A and B are shown apart, each in its own frame.
Chain A
Amino acid sequence: MTGVVWLLRRFVASVAIIFAVVTLVFILIHVAPGDPCVGSEEGGTQDPVMCPLLTRQFGLDQPLHVRYGRYLLQLLHGNLGYSFSLHRPVSGALAETIPFTLQLAGVALLIDFLLGLGLGIYQALRVNRLPDVVLSNVTLFVYSLPTFWLALVLLLLFAEKVKLFPLGGPSDPILCPVIDSAYCLADRIWHLVLPAFTLGLVGAAGTARFQRAAMLEVAQQDFVRTARAKGLSERGVVLQHQLRNALLSFITRFGLTLPFLLTGAVLIETIFAWPGMGRLAVNAILTRDHALVTATALIASTLVVSGNLLADILIGIADPRVRVPADGGPETSLVPA
């Protein structure tokens, strides 16, 4: 199978998965108790005259399959629907919040991977010696911390006791409602530090543990012994021969972590009053905002699927066993690719 055919098949499969997720979420949110007019619980404060009118206007009186058909039709036209709770098109609300989520999760991911990879590789170089043992315990401890708890503790320490960082929000609301100067850029970064570190630290602890294990697994391979027999230094053995192979499994992990861009940030965005998509999704669920919930699910599933696809493509580039086909012939075809 050539690369193009493979890519095409993966692409079609990805679209099918996203479609299935959207369908499932659409049905679930519609059959869930509560509707936008009444709210999720007893909050029936809406006007008894306006309610039926609005229900008819948005087509909520139609049977489920009709509503689903209409939704799909709109979706194909690129229309994500209208948010009841925000009184505006869903696409507008998303366009406003996604950049915030990308900034937060992007920085968090950077911390996660840079710190995590660095620690994992360092531990592999010092395996079973004191620094490695200490780090193993520290990363296990950090990894098992709940993010929301760590967020609150960091807030208490660095925003309340020592007033180093702001309590929340994306920027100074008076001086920097939009970023239009170097000062405001610095202000945004200053606001990013705590939430990004909370997310990044927990992730980095997991990444470090993963990377250490991956490096040590490779260390058992025969070709590592071959490298040593050639006269390579211990650093050369670990950083060239072990790392290159361990990075292959890291790429797979990277693909699985990418959706974390959205999902992992939900709690953090709520705690740090970060106006991102995670917070938007939480509010959408609480207000039974059908269109908004489905749209966030659509984006989340797209991230999951494209993260995996991206990882597979990267593996294809990085692993010669996938990239370069064996020359055929009975002997080579026995080799697992």
Chain B
Amino acid sequence: MLRVRDLKTYFVTEHGRGTARAVDEVSFDLYPGETLGIVGESGCGKTVTSLSILRLVPEPPGHILPGSLIEFEGRNLLALPAPELRAVRGNQIAMIFQEPMTSLNPVFTVGDQIGEAAIIHQHLSRKAARARAIEMLKLVGIADPEERVDDYPHQLSGGMRQRVMIAMALVCHPKVLIADEPTTALDVTIQAQILELLDRLQQELGMAVLLITHDLGLVAGHADRVVVMYAGRVVETAETTELFDRPTHPYTEGLLAAVPRIDAPLARLHAIPGQVPAATAWPAGCRFHPRCPYAWDKCIAQEPPLLETGVTGHAARCWLVTEPERRQAKR
């Protein structure tokens, strides 16, 4: 349904001190009705990837390089003229953002903001848009929607605002919902409620969800497939259970080991040594090699492609796939 191929989004840094290759040849597919999780640390390019899909990357400094392809229902979104792109935005592909506090306009009522997309795309009258907004507020589980529709964002709590954001994104029943860290700014109980809501709405409306997060636990519970990103690259992709059972890339391994477990004996939390390198100067060879416990000369000399592991749909950008015996020789 949504096909991303060789997506390159670069940022020109100020004073020409180089180009930040935030997203570098990223490819993945999103199938109808599924939830695809994109996981990675901050700075790995997952948010830029999600913004690139609807061409929301601020330009300048950012630009999507020619040769990139984002195909939605047979059309390349990157080559679409502005009016046609706008007809996709908010209508067929909608987005919710990380910060419900700042992502709503403080001077308009939530009803106006929810109804806006319906007015643009479905040419509803103001009255009909208001009725639709009330309906949407009810759908996302806000009590007294008839009254809340006239509230301003500052009158709502963080969880309610994120519900409003979801209502706003779903008002035109999009086929794809991009959720960029939808719960990161919320506290844990609200997080669970919002995710339940998203799951329920996905089933009711039959849309595909691209769930972008740094939280592996969230992916485990809600995604059908996972794409792991590191340093602007896809480093591993697999079905969720397969990924958790057999992580192949050392980075994924490290991420999984860093999740505290309630059923394991108490031990020091594992941390991946080092830091994500700067996007202006990715390491040569495999971009993970400076932090990798298995790295050998080949990793420094040559970057591996995404290699099939043998299990359907499971691929990792690691030479260990071709030389599995080296997994024993941990540095």
**A residues at B contact (CB < 8 Å):** 221-223, 225-234, 236, 241, 244-245, 248, 318-321, 324, 326-327, 329, 331-332, 335, 337
User: Residues of B with Cβ closer than 8 Å to A?
Assistant: 54, 56, 82-83, 86-91, 94-95, 97, 99, 101-109, 116-117, 120-121, 151-152, 154-158, 165, 168
Contact of B90 among A230, A244, A331 (CB under 8 A): A230
CA distance A331 to B87 in the complex (A): 36
- In the complex, the chain A residue whose C-beta lies closest to that of B57 is A225
User: Would you call B155 and A326 a contact (CB within 8 A)?
Assistant: yes
Q: Given that A223-B103, A228-B56, A245-B105 are known contacts, is A324 also in contact with B116, CB under 8 Å in the complex?
A: no
Is the beta-carbon distance between A324 and B56 smaller than 8 angstroms? no
Contacting residues, chain A, for B99 (C-beta < 8 A): 222
Assembly CA distance A88 to B133 (angstroms): 67
Whether the pair B107, A230 counts as a contact (CB closer than 8 A) is: no
Q: Which listed residue, B89, B97, B157, B168, touches A329 by the CB 8 Å rule?
A: B157
Number of residue pairs spanning A and B whose beta carbons lie under 8 angstroms apart: 91
Collect the chain B residues with CB atoms within 8 Å of residue A221's CB: 102
With a cutoff of 8 Å between Cβ atoms, the chain B residues found around residue A319 in the complex are 106-107
Smallest CB separation, A313 vs chain B (Å): 17
Complex-state Cα separation, A326 to B160, whole angstroms:
13
Of chain A, the residue at the smallest CB distance from B85 is: A231
In angstroms, Cα B87 to Cα A335, docked, is 34
Instruction: Pick from B86, B107, B157: contact of A231, CB below 8 A.
Output: B86
Taking a contact as CB atoms under 8 Å apart, the answer to whether A222 and B90 are in contact is no
Q: Are B154 and A244 in contact (CB under 8 A)?
A: no
Asked if A227 and B106 make an inter-chain contact with CB atoms under 8 angstroms apart, the answer reads: no
- Assembly CA distance A232 to B103 (angstroms): 15
Q: By the criterion CB–CB under 8 Å, are B94 and A229 in contact?
A: yes
- The reply to whether A227 and B154 form a contact with Cβ atoms under 8 Å apart is no
Q: Cβ of A226: which chain B residues have Cβ within 8 Å of it?
A: 97, 103-105, 165, 168
Which of A231, A320, A331 has a CB less than 8 Å from the CB of B152?
Answer: A320
Nearest chain B CB to A152's CB is how many angstroms away? 43
Query: How distant is A217 from chain B, measured CB to nearest CB, in Å?
Result: 13
Cβ-defined contact, B89 with A229, below 8 A: yes
**Which of B56, B86, B94, B151 has its CB near the most chain A CB atoms (within 10 A)?**
B86
The contact sample of 21 A-B pairs, CB cut-off 8 A, is A226-B103, A226-B168, A227-B116, A229-B97, A230-B90, A231-B86, A231-B90, A232-B116, A241-B105, A244-B107, A245-B107, A319-B107, A320-B152, A321-B106, A324-B152, A324-B155, A327-B155, A329-B157, A332-B155, A332-B157, A337-B154
What 8 pairs across the A-B complex have the smallest Cβ distances? A230-B90, A231-B90, A231-B89, A331-B157, A222-B102, A320-B152, A223-B105, A222-B103
Inter-chain contact B155/A231, CB cutoff 8 Å: no
Closest A residue, CB atoms, query B171: A230
Q: Which residues of B contact A244 (CB under 8 A)?
A: 105, 107-108
Q: How far is the CA of A337 from the CA of B97 in the complex (A)?
A: 22
- Name, among A223, A230, A236, A245, the residue most crowded by chain B CB atoms within 10 Å (CB to CB): A230
Q: Which residue of A lies closest to B102 (CB)?
A: A222
Contacts A222-B99, A222-B103, A232-B120 known; list 6 others, CB within 8 Å.
A223-B102, A230-B90, A231-B91, A248-B107, A326-B155, A329-B157
Known A-B contacts A222-B97, A225-B97, A329-B157; the reply to A320 vs B105 at CB < 8 A is: no
The answer to whether A320 and B120 touch (CB under 8 A), given A222-B97, A337-B154, is: no
Cα-based distance from A26 to B10 in the complex (angstroms): 66
A230 nearest CB neighbor, chain B only: B90
* Residues on A with beta carbons closer than 8 Å to the beta carbon of B95: 229
Residues of B within 8 A of A324 (CB): 151-152, 154-155
Tell me whether A320 and B154 are in contact (CB under 8 A).
yes
Contact status B97-A331, CB under 8 Å: no
In the complex, A141 Cα to B247 Cα: how many Å? Answer: 63
Roughly how many angstroms separate A241 CA and B158 CA in the complex, as a whole number? Answer: 21
A103 CB → nearest B CB, Å: 34
Which of A248, A329, A332 is within 8 Å of B154, CB to CB? A332
How far does the alpha carbon of A35 sit from the alpha carbon of B330 in the complex, in Å? 97
Q: How far is the CA of A329 from the CA of B155 in the complex (A)?
A: 10
For residue A331, which residue of chain B has the nearest CB? B157
Q: Which residue of B lies closest to A327 (CB)?
A: B155
Tell me the smallest distance from the CB of A125 to a CB of chain B, in Å: 14
- Which residues of A are found within 8 Å of B165, using beta-carbon distances? 226
| Contact partner, A230, options B83, B101, B116, B152, Cβ 8 Å | B116
Residues of B within 8 A of A248 (CB): 107
Residues of B within 8 A of A241 (CB): 105, 108
Minimum CB distance partner of B89 in chain A = A231
CB of B174 to closest CB in A, whole Å: 10
B152–A321 touching, CB < 8 Å: yes
Q: Given A321-B152, A326-B154, A327-B155, A230–B102 Cβ distance below 8 Å?
A: no
Q: How far is the CB of B93 from chain A (nearest CB, A)?
A: 9
